[in-house]
Structure 1
């Protein structure tokens, strides 16, 4: 079948002239870090041909192969490092050839290919399964073996292509030297399909367009089993030994994957987290362009003295406070702060014993809200906030959805982060544990990571409910949820930068 480009990718590109995209950075980080303003002039033209890359089972991938060319458009003599620039299911290779051309003009061979069932490649799309991973391995090794290639290969890609890039790094093809996954997962189950064990309503339109068979297959695996481990980077973190430039956005649906992959392998990973939504970066604010990508490839694939990012973590402080660089994530300077919800909807940092109380909400209602007083000083949240709570459900299972918002003096709210958990998954997603109606259970909800400054005069608001459509399905069992308050039975913690 043929898959369209996802709507969010089209949205990110709607104001971009793909024939004349500027690959110079607009990000202000380029003024302080040489890696983000790195460039060198184009030295070649581009020769493009469509080829069939043979796979180990006798099938093939349709692939656009780009080679450095002379003025006549014919490939020049010599051997060049290679980049698997994009491998995805979107039947839109022309879109990505424009991006690949920048690197080819500077002395790289690039491959832009379509997975099975897309872009003229025979078969059916089976996202991120063993077949796709083997095909990716074979594509890397095929490119490395071309007589015009040095055998040093990098792989990059965005979203679908980013996921496969991380899986390729975990599978370790012999000639894969470095990688740039952009907006990529750590685990297909946790980051995409089941959020906290609850089905993600938002992904179904993508499934219908890209891989409709998954609409029946995924519900057959509601728990974390070998089906999901096969599609997981997280399950093979120990294999991530090559250098990785991990690029994502604080508004992206894969920011958890970005942070998890970095913190699992900080010794060989550099993280760049911008103010970006899911989709292509060209056209979004603070676009880093191709500067640091070219620097990355020149550093690892050639003998050119190209700079690496000056810090392990380069992160944009949301919502509009500019770039920061850190040696680790969360930053080593961060200190854990605790907020305690109280009856009446207060959210404070008061410690010590509090009288016990309860807060109750309907599972199909709006939940309960707790809000701080206007802050006396800025609070910059970094890393993952965690809500620890004691909750009782009237049904034999339940959903907890937690949303944190930055609320200004006029009541306007900006979402900072969110997290979800099916109560029967409170001990992990590999098996369910009983939920006894009317009994308080200890539950811990880890929210997506954030780098967000709530300025003085604004408030932090926490909503606890069973609903957050379309991030999760609205299929919580009907009934009530009761939260136990007092004595810090329910409390929110987050790493916070010193004021």
Structure 2
């Protein structure tokens, strides 16, 4: 989509300076303009003629952006150019490409704002716990300004600074600080709405844009050393301001959640506590390579957010130092701050949520809801604002506020309500095993033995069992297979479904593995055609009840688009059925729950 489809433009000049104003036809497209038409992109668009700085000024009431292009024209009285005033530059800028993916992301942001979700409201959670009902009245207005926060290398990040206000001016005094949603989505205005309720209750909030986004100079390089150092510098800058007490927390969702937990392992001295929502444990494993197989759905995000990574990530198919610096798993000993670990059982980071909790259980409380990836407000059983405020009041403001009633608050899928446990998996859970057999049965004991095969190009194996008693899967699952491939390498996808009496299926969980990664993602293990190997495939954790009468269905194939690329490798996958092939899960009997 071209810019002229959603906006018009006018150009002016003064000596060697050109200015271009871009005006959205519709108010609802202004956020898309803010995201896509940055000063950096305008300078790149006019790289052949712009010799100076490009400045961007926002005119939200007009739904417009004004760009000042310094040292661009040759001077209207000294030039022989046909367009000495640069009037055609506005038409040229309207040819700027605005990607469909970015438009969809902006639409999501707008939907989030329209739903009131960007400004958290009361929770809709049906759990009986004072932590999730905590509240206190607002005391202040909000004063907002866009500022440049200096970084250690002499560059800066554009940030919105929100301070408690009275009569439209910041009030005197020092307040606890929050670094809020440090991400690459060029939507500070949207995320600032989420920070505002804290500011109204006596916090100062900094809403930053990473390098290369939201007019912060540079280019987007997600979660690398530079971005982690910038997170550290943001915390320390805010702590040093006279209007801050020096006690700072950090909070964010998805991209902002990743940066929150990565900043924490770098240990800024004034960072006191964190709330990572839908946050990573390892960028390679959680997001880019599922079981060593490229995640098909992530490319649109890469193209829209960090297009350079389409090449750089492909150059690192193994888990090497490039990925280790974007991981917290090998640095858990440095993650010692109080952490409210929030995710969803339908979210792609639920494995990371559980890993982070289990590695840091002493200082972590986990909340796992019935949520998909993305903004939690507006989804069922919304956590709202209450728990977040209780957390910050306790750790940053020294106010008497509660912690969650249990270390783990988890929603039992699908639709069975909240449960609270002292640990995860629950201490009272045990191991249940299901054995696929040659007759298609998925039994509690080893069934009919044999070798089952399927073509990697579209083939599959299916096994099932009807639950005579209800069972609740609580936590980690894995598939232990004795398997091989007739070709040079093989992809295996394992999918578990809960099928009701009418045949309607709900996915329970899934896992994947490239056979040459069976000994780890940091090296290639040789694959001999027709040889059988003992392979363990981690399956994402869940909290799911299989009710009596439902069917548990296991599908083994080489395809699970869009979770993994459909590579259609040559050869057949061969699985030896019997004692060596099974699904293992931590479970609770239905009667205990």
State whether TM-score is above 0.5: yes
Query: 1:219: Cα distance to partner?
Result: 1.0
Query: 1:498: Cα distance to partner?
Result: 2.3
The correspondence for 2:546, drawn from 427, 430, 454, is: 454
In 2, distance between residues paired with 1:337 and 1:278? 29
Whether 1:495 aligns to 2:586 is yes
The correspondence for 1:48, drawn from 116, 128, 144, is: 144
In 2, distance between residues paired with 1:358 and 1:272? 42
Query: 1:157: Cα distance to partner?
Result: 0.3
Asked whether the 8 Å contact 2:495–2:507 carries over to 1, the reply is yes
SS in 1 for 2:395: helix
Whether 1:17 aligns to 2:138 is no
Aligned position for 1:165: 260
Deviation per CA, 1:442-495: give whole Å up to 9, x if none: 111010000000111101000001110110011142211111012x12111100
- Give the 5 Å matches for 1:87-98: 87-98=182-193
Aligned position for 1:65: 161
Query: 1:358: Cα distance to partner?
Result: 1.2
In 2, distance between residues paired with 1:377 and 1:11? 41
- Give the 5 Å matches for 1:171-186: 171-186=266-281
Asked whether the 8 Å contact 1:88–1:160 carries over to 2, the reply is yes
In 2, distance between residues paired with 1:447 and 1:496? 14
Asked whether the 8 Å contact 1:382–1:451 carries over to 2, the reply is yes
Query: 1:368: Cα distance to partner?
Result: 0.5
Aligned position for 2:477: 385
Deviation per CA, 1:39-84: give whole Å up to 9, x if none: 00000000001100000111000000000001x1101111100000
In 1, distance between residues paired with 2:221 and 2:415? 39
Whether 1:120 aligns to 2:215 is yes
The correspondence for 1:375, drawn from 467, 470, 479, is: 467
Per the normalisation by structure 1, the TM-score is 0.96
Aligned position for 2:133: 37
Aligned position for 1:26: 124
- Give the 5 Å matches for 1:263-278: 263-278=358-373
Query: 1:233: Cα distance to partner?
Result: 1.0
Q: Which deviates the most, 362-371 or 443-452? A: 362-371
The correspondence for 1:153, drawn from 228, 241, 248, is: 248
The correspondence for 1:432, drawn from 524, 533, 539, is: 524
Asked whether the 8 Å contact 1:12–1:279 carries over to 2, the reply is no
Aligned position for 2:561: 469
Deviation per CA, 1:78-132: give whole Å up to 9, x if none: 1100000111000001111111000000000001010000001000000000110
- Give the 5 Å matches for 1:316-327: 316-327=411-422
In 1, distance between residues paired with 2:110 and 2:548? 35
Q: CA separation of 1:154/1:5 partners in 2, compared to 1, >3 Å: closer, same or farther?
A: farther
In 2, distance between residues paired with 1:76 and 1:325? 41
Q: State the number of aligned residues.
A: 492
In 2, distance between residues paired with 1:426 and 1:369? 22
Asked whether the 8 Å contact 2:490–2:514 carries over to 1, the reply is yes
Query: 1:19: Cα distance to partner?
Result: 5.9
Asked whether the 8 Å contact 1:46–1:69 carries over to 2, the reply is yes
Q: CA separation of 1:276/1:10 partners in 2, compared to 1, >3 Å: closer, same or farther?
A: farther
Query: 1:15: Cα distance to partner?
Result: 6.3
Per the normalisation by structure 2, the TM-score is 0.81
Q: CA separation of 1:6/1:463 partners in 2, compared to 1, >3 Å: closer, same or farther?
A: farther
In 2, distance between residues paired with 1:358 and 1:86? 51
Deviation per CA, 1:207-252: give whole Å up to 9, x if none: 0001111011111111111000110011211100100000000010
Structure 1 unaligned runs (5+)?
A: none
Provide the aligned C-alpha RMSD in A.
Answer: 1.5
The correspondence for 2:571, drawn from 479, 484, 496, is: 479
- Give the 5 Å matches for 1:319-358: 319-351=414-446, 354=447, 356-358=449-451
In 2, distance between residues paired with 1:37 and 1:9? 31
Asked whether the 8 Å contact 1:393–1:480 carries over to 2, the reply is yes
SS in 1 for 2:479: strand
The correspondence for 1:397, drawn from 489, 494, 500, is: 489
Structure 2 unaligned runs (5+)?
A: 1-33, 37-100
Asked whether the 8 Å contact 2:112–2:375 carries over to 1, the reply is no
Q: CA separation of 1:432/1:327 partners in 2, compared to 1, >3 Å: closer, same or farther?
A: same
Whether 1:314 aligns to 2:409 is yes
Aligned position for 1:250: 345
Asked whether the 8 Å contact 1:5–1:90 carries over to 2, the reply is no
Structure possessing the higher relative contact order (Cα contacts under 8 Å, 6 or more residues apart): 1
Aligned position for 1:74: 169
Query: 1:9: Cα distance to partner?
Result: 8.2
